[in-house]
């Protein structure tokens, strides 16, 4: 990772890796923060196992659904790492390339840092630097930073049962 076709967001946050992991892997905790407001997440499906579904439906401020296809998990390390891709659906079934302009794989790591915080790293891995540039143009850098702030706020203000 770290090539021209990767987009990377790294930050230190003052919530534990365990709570960040839970926010990423529990639909009721993912829905409130997953996309930058005024956009919203309307539905989420998670089957937390390799090949299991990772699906998020988002809507614009007018309620129009944004294009979305179900992805799947590739790797899960409890409380430390999640890797999922939009290129494959549940059961590792490849998607038809005509259903999306480009696919990517997300690698998320949550490393303990300081007194109860974590180093949050999100890498969006693309097939080409052009696909990475297109993803960044629609808001990766800015949007993923906003949703990380929303995630932290959610974890700090919501019982994480």
Q: In whole angstroms, give the CA distance from residue 79 to residue 1.
A: 21
- Phi-psi category of 43—alpha, beta or left, where left has phi over 0 and alpha has psi -120 to 50? beta
Q: Tell me: cis bond preceding 38? Omega within 30 of 0 counts.
A: yes
pLDDT at position 119 is 98
Give me the chain's average pLDDT, please.
95
pLDDT digits (tens, 9 = 90+) for 51-80: 999 999 999 999 999 989 999 999 999 999
Q: What is the mean pLDDT of residues 135-144?
A: 92
pLDDT at position 98 is 82
User: Would you call 140 exposed, middle or buried from its count of C-beta atoms within 10 A (0-12, 13-18, 19+)?
Assistant: buried
Q: Per-residue confidence at 99, pLDDT binned at 50, 70, 90?
A: confident
Q: Per-residue confidence at 2, pLDDT binned at 50, 70, 90?
A: low
Answering whether pTM is above 0.85, one says yes
**Which two structure tokens, joined as six digits, stand for 111?**
């490393």
N residues, the chain: 161
pLDDT at position 102 is 81
Q: In whole angstroms, give the CA distance from residue 59 to residue 139.
A: 15
What's the CATH superfamily of 6-157? Answer: START domain (3.30.530.20)
* pLDDT above 80 for 100: no
């Amino acid at each position: 990772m770290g090539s021209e076709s990767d987009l990377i967001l790294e930050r230190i946050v003052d919530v534990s890796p365990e709570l960040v992991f839970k926010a990423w892997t529990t639909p009721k905790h993912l829905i409130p923060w997953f996309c930058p407001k005024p956009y919203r997440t309307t539905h989420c499906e998670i089957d937390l196992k390799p090949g299991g579904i990772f699906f998020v439906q988002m809507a614009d401020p007018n309620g129009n659904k944004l294009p979305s296809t179900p992805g799947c998990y590739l790797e899960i390390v409890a409380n430390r790492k999640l890797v999922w891709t939009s290129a494959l659906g549940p059961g590792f079934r490849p998607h038809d390339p005509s259903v999306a302009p480009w696919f990517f794989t997300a690698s998320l790591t949550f490393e303990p840092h300081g007194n109860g915080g974590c180093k949050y790293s999100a890498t969006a891995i693309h097939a080409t630097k052009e696909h990475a540039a297109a993803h960044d143009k629609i808001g990766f850098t800015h949007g993923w930073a906003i949703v990380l702030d929303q995630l932290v706020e959610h974890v700090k203000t919501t019982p994480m049962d």
